[in-house]
A and B are shown apart, each in its own frame.
Chain A
Amino acid sequence: MDLTPHLPALQVIVPMLSAPLVLLLKPRGLAWAGATAASVLSFAIALNMALIVVDGGRLHYDMGGWAAPYGIELSVGAFSALVLLIVTGAAAAAMIAARPSIDRQIEAGRQPLFYSAWLLALAGLAGIAVSADAFNIFVFMEISSLASYILIAGGPDRRALPAVFKYLIMGTIGATFYLIGVGLVYMMTGTLNLADMEARIVNVTDINPILVAAGFITIGLALKAAVFPLHVWLPNAYTHAPHMVTVFLAACATKVAIYVLIRFDFFVFQANLENHSLQFSLFLMPLALMGILVASAVAMFEGHIKRLLAMSSVAQIGYIILGASFITEAGLTAAAAHMFNHALAKGGLFLAIAGLACHYRDLRLDQLAGAARSMPWTAAALVICGFSLIGVPGTAGFISKWLLIDAAMDEGGLAWLLVAIIIISSLMALAYIWRIVETLYFRPAVEEPAPGEAPLQLLLVTWLVALANIFFGLFPQFPLALASAAAQLLMRHTL
């Protein structure tokens, strides 16, 4: 039987159906094995779809054979395939590595519940990426958000509870704004299917509700995506979550929200609203630039290694938004490529930190002094991923930064300001990564240094991701092909 036409549906069904199944796997280790199998299978599905759509193709699936606009349509293009690769890749890598870290942080009895929530989060995030329907996106967004609240609060750190409460409130506001926007568009067009909306919005005579909807949707999704200054929920949520959850969510959660933001805007609004492109740029570009500068500056003086990297995530989200705000093919390519490369770098960094956390209970920088001497492999992987985050040539991060700067240089009078800000923020990234390097390598060790390396399972995956950072820095063809196909697709929907 050829499963290829069913891949978009399987992408969601596999993790979603596995979620209740792992609940039944009480014996020690089996729940982890089940969740890992489901995550890896999801990744295989995503990779398969990416290979099919990399040439600009598209996969359609009508649930139950009911065609859109009445049935539920799933659709996977280059952009969604790229996001699916990030989501499932992060989930699979984190899951394979997770066991030693999860065993330390979550008691055995609650582990099946935890893995179940993990798979639900994965199913929700994947569902957002395959949906071609505005309301389904909302449903999957709620599934993934509720599951990630559970994941973040599931660790031993009680400080996660207020953090997750803040996340819950802000996430709910974001989702509600999105829903209000979708409702307004539905009111004016009578459809929830994105492609259909695009076709019908042309005939709408009273444009004001659509403008209001665009505002609600943009702000709601910007909240979910932690676009500066709507990022305040992010640092604490990432800092106090169980370490493996941070790996998973930091690599992909905000990127999925950015994906919806960009996709909704380009598919539905860009082609149909007068001057919308200008408003889109004028609104997002300053926020992106401020985010890049302010978050990087905060990261430079942050004392806790996880919060430092969480602040850096806010800055990196700024890069992605900045690329999108150019509304050029080059800019969108850079944005999409940076989604992929940042997921690689940040995922690798948080994996290495999960390794450090196996021996260091306190993750403030002061307490990690000299850790490279007892954990040389973990520290080296952390440095490689850190270089990728800075954008050192030869690593994945360089590719997207180069593309971003190249795209910025075409922005006419603004070009020099944009290039200067990107360069300055790279210097800031260098400063905060160097602080970590200096702490790990050159400061005298704390009184109780780690007894040895991180667990092998975790270390191997960390190194796999670190090497992937180098591999995609030297051979970026595949993600770039996806990114540029995605950009072309998006640009076809502009005026």
Chain B
Amino acid sequence: MSADNAIVLALCVPLLTAVGIQLAGRISDNLREAVTLTGAAALAWVVWGMLPALFAGARPEFTVGELLPGIGIAFTVEPLGMLFAALASGLWIINSVYSIGYMRGNKEKHQTRFYTCFALALSATIGIAFAGNLLTLFLCYELLTLSTYPLVAHKGDEATIRSARVYLGILLCTSIGLLLPAILWTYHVAGHGDFTAGGILEGHIAGADVGLLLALFVFGIGKAAVMPVHRWLPAAMVAPTPVSALLHAVAVVKAGVFSVTKVIVYIFGVDFLFATPSSGWLVYAAAFTIIAASLVALRQQNLKRLLAYSTIAQLSYVVMAAAVLKPLAEIGAAVHMVAHAFGKITLFFAAGAIYTAAKKTELGQLRGIGRRMPWTMAAFTIGALSMIGVPPTAGFVSKWYILAGAFEANNLLAIFTIIASTALNAIYFLPIVFAAWFYNEQPGGTPHGEAPPLVVIALCTTALLTLGFFFFNGPVIELENQLVEGMLP
């Protein structure tokens, strides 16, 4: 199988899975779940199968068609997109296992629609990861927004629909109102929007316009949740937890920071931005988001909302790392996408497990729960430590690279922000962990045990991945080294 065909397969497998789920859903639930798992496994097999070619330096391409001269739908696989696709497709398998346990454990309705939209969302995610130009990226970005709307609105009651509208409204308005003009502007001045190593805008745009265009991109890509375009993420927490776990901790939000990073690296060009002072505001915006979101997280009482604000902060780590504009920091941005994904999906899995087993959602209810759900809380602890960046967890690796990049650029603001937010992370995560293990349960609660086995298996796997990434991150670093080749140190 050539790598070019693999792109088509990677895009089609989730689509076919969605069709299969619809058909199988009419026959039996077990068959439907089998289709989901098979689809997830097939996608991972296809995507991971492209890795050797990428390590060898290949850049597989596939062009769907050219609409107008210079404007087409095309896909190209490069290291950053490869990493994102591999991450999303791999975690889809684990998440599917978890979903089955969660959805059955909670007796959710409309499960066929749920799995279908999930598969569609994955297809859009792969499309974003492999997009070869801005237009393709935009198209897949919007598909991802639309396909996740039914997932967020899953419960279907008034309050849920209202939140889902906020979700949809913010994401669509920012993307059409800001991202689309940015894309049009880019095409207009550069003549095309292909992602090209070293960027395409140098010589076509200068001065304050660079900062303005960058702002249109960063705030237009609302999925990156840079403040003030972050409100949709807490709103999305009304979705069932598997959605929050894979989509609003991995696929959707990573699609945002991935797109920002890709625009910085392949459209502006890192060296061009570094030489243009008007782009400097981005580090400040990201730093503000990190600190502000962490402070808001401190005040949350609901576990999922706390995780959402923590995600907002962590996403801006990636944006800030990309905005530091140094090779090591760019690697750090890529690595942090992976590290945060492992840690945050574990935390969401644990939150969902607690809800399934005990119907508890608030922080105050979690005292002493470690004794009833030791596996879940052990995984939660590992995830929390990774968020803080304590070795031996994944979070440490990425923070190390981002810090190294910040020192390289002599960016004191970035260094200070990382240190301060590490402290804040510790302040809002450690008390939860401490209370869960060492406090006594409030009297009068109903006794319960662990969540369904499928749920526990899934969250233990991701917890192990969080630990394992600390030791085995070589391939990721090697792959992303290709990203920064030829960049000024």
- The chain A residues found within 8 Å of chain B, CB to CB, are 392-394, 398-399, 402-403, 405-406, 409, 419-420, 423-424, 426-427, 430, 434, 442, 473-476, 480
Q: Which of B67, B139, B161 has the most CB of A within 10 A?
A: B67
Contacts of B148-173 to chain A: CB distance below 8 A = 150, 153, 156, 161, 168, 172-173
Compute how far the CA of A393 lies from the CA of B185 in the bound complex, rounded to whole angstroms: 16
Query: With an 8 A cutoff between CB atoms, is B483 at the interface?
Result: no
A393-B138, A394-B73 in contact; A475/B65 too (CB < 8 A)? yes
Size band of the interface chain B makes with A: 20 to 34
| Interface contact A409-B67, CB-CB below 8 Å | no
- The chain B residues found within 8 Å of chain A, CB to CB, are 64-65, 67-68, 71, 73, 135, 138-139, 142, 150, 153, 156, 161, 168, 172-173, 176-177, 180-181, 184-185, 187-188
B154 to chain A, nearest CB (A): 11
| Interface contact A392-B67, CB-CB below 8 Å | no
Write the chain B residue with the least CB distance to A426.
Answer: B176
CB-defined contacts of A473 to chain B, threshold 8 Å: 67
CB-defined contacts of B180 to chain A, threshold 8 Å: 423, 426
A337 to chain B, nearest CB (A): 10
CB-defined contacts of B168 to chain A, threshold 8 Å: 434
Q: Which of A393, A399, A426 has the most CB of B within 10 A?
A: A393
| Interface contact B64-A474, CB-CB below 8 Å | yes
Can you list 20 A-B pairs with a CB-CB distance of less than 8 A?
A: A392-B142, A393-B142, A399-B67, A399-B68, A402-B67, A402-B71, A403-B68, A406-B184, A409-B184, A420-B181, A426-B176, A427-B172, A427-B173, A434-B168, A442-B150, A473-B67, A474-B65, A474-B67, A474-B73, A476-B68
A344 to chain B, nearest CB (A): 15
A396 to chain B, nearest CB (A): 10
Number of residue pairs spanning A and B whose beta carbons lie under 8 angstroms apart: 54
Write the chain A residue with the least CB distance to B178.
Answer: A423
CB-defined contacts of A405 to chain B, threshold 8 Å: 184
Compute how far the CA of A398 lies from the CA of B150 in the bound complex, rounded to whole angstroms: 25
| Interface contact A476-B176, CB-CB below 8 Å | no
Compute how far the CA of A392 lies from the CA of B141 in the bound complex, rounded to whole angstroms: 12
| Interface contact B184-A419, CB-CB below 8 Å | yes
Compute how far the CA of A393 lies from the CA of B180 in the bound complex, rounded to whole angstroms: 11
The 3 closest A-B pairs by CB, nearest first: A393-B139, A409-B188, A474-B65
CB-defined contacts of A399 to chain B, threshold 8 Å: 67-68
A394-B139, A423-B177 in contact; A442/B161 too (CB < 8 A)? yes
| Interface contact A423-B65, CB-CB below 8 Å | no
Compute how far the CA of A474 lies from the CA of B68 in the bound complex, rounded to whole angstroms: 9
Compute how far the CA of A475 lies from the CA of B173 in the bound complex, rounded to whole angstroms: 28
CB-defined contacts of A434 to chain B, threshold 8 Å: 168
Instruction: Determine which of B135, B156, B161, B181 lies in contact with A393 in the assembled complex, contact meaning CB atoms within 8 Å.
Output: B135
| Interface contact B176-A423, CB-CB below 8 Å | yes
CB-defined contacts of B187 to chain A, threshold 8 Å: 406
A233 to chain B, nearest CB (A): 32
Compute how far the CA of A392 lies from the CA of B173 in the bound complex, rounded to whole angstroms: 14
Compute how far the CA of A398 lies from the CA of B187 in the bound complex, rounded to whole angstroms: 15
Q: Which of B64, B138, B139, B181 has the most CB of A within 10 A?
A: B181
A88 to chain B, nearest CB (A): 26
CB-defined contacts of B139 to chain A, threshold 8 Å: 392-394
A423-B176, A430-B172 in contact; A442/B142 too (CB < 8 A)? no
Write the chain A residue with the least CB distance to B156.
Answer: A442
| Interface contact A430-B176, CB-CB below 8 Å | yes
Compute how far the CA of A119 lies from the CA of B181 in the bound complex, rounded to whole angstroms: 44
Write the chain B residue with the least CB distance to A403.
Answer: B68
CB-defined contacts of A474 to chain B, threshold 8 Å: 64-65, 67, 73
Q: A419-B181, A426-B180, A434-B168 are in contact. List 15 more A-B contacts (CB 8 A).
A: A393-B73, A393-B135, A394-B139, A399-B68, A402-B68, A405-B184, A406-B188, A409-B184, A420-B181, A423-B180, A426-B176, A427-B177, A430-B172, A473-B67, A475-B65
CB-defined contacts of B188 to chain A, threshold 8 Å: 406, 409
Compute how far the CA of A473 lies from the CA of B172 in the bound complex, rounded to whole angstroms: 21
B176 to chain A, nearest CB (A): 5
A153 to chain B, nearest CB (A): 40
Compute how far the CA of A403 lies from the CA of B68 in the bound complex, rounded to whole angstroms: 9
Instruction: Determine which of B68, B161, B181 lies in contact with A423 in the assembled complex, contact meaning CB atoms within 8 Å.
Output: B181
B273 to chain A, nearest CB (A): 23
Write the chain B residue with the least CB distance to A441.
Answer: B150
Write the chain A residue with the least CB distance to B187.
Answer: A406
Compute how far the CA of A250 lies from the CA of B181 in the bound complex, rounded to whole angstroms: 30
| Interface contact A442-B153, CB-CB below 8 Å | yes
CB-defined contacts of B135 to chain A, threshold 8 Å: 393
CB-defined contacts of A406 to chain B, threshold 8 Å: 184, 187-188
Compute how far the CA of A427 lies from the CA of B175 in the bound complex, rounded to whole angstroms: 10
Q: Which of B65, B68, B138, B150 has the most CB of A within 10 A?
A: B68
Q: Which of B65, B150, B177, B180 has the most CB of A within 10 A?
A: B180
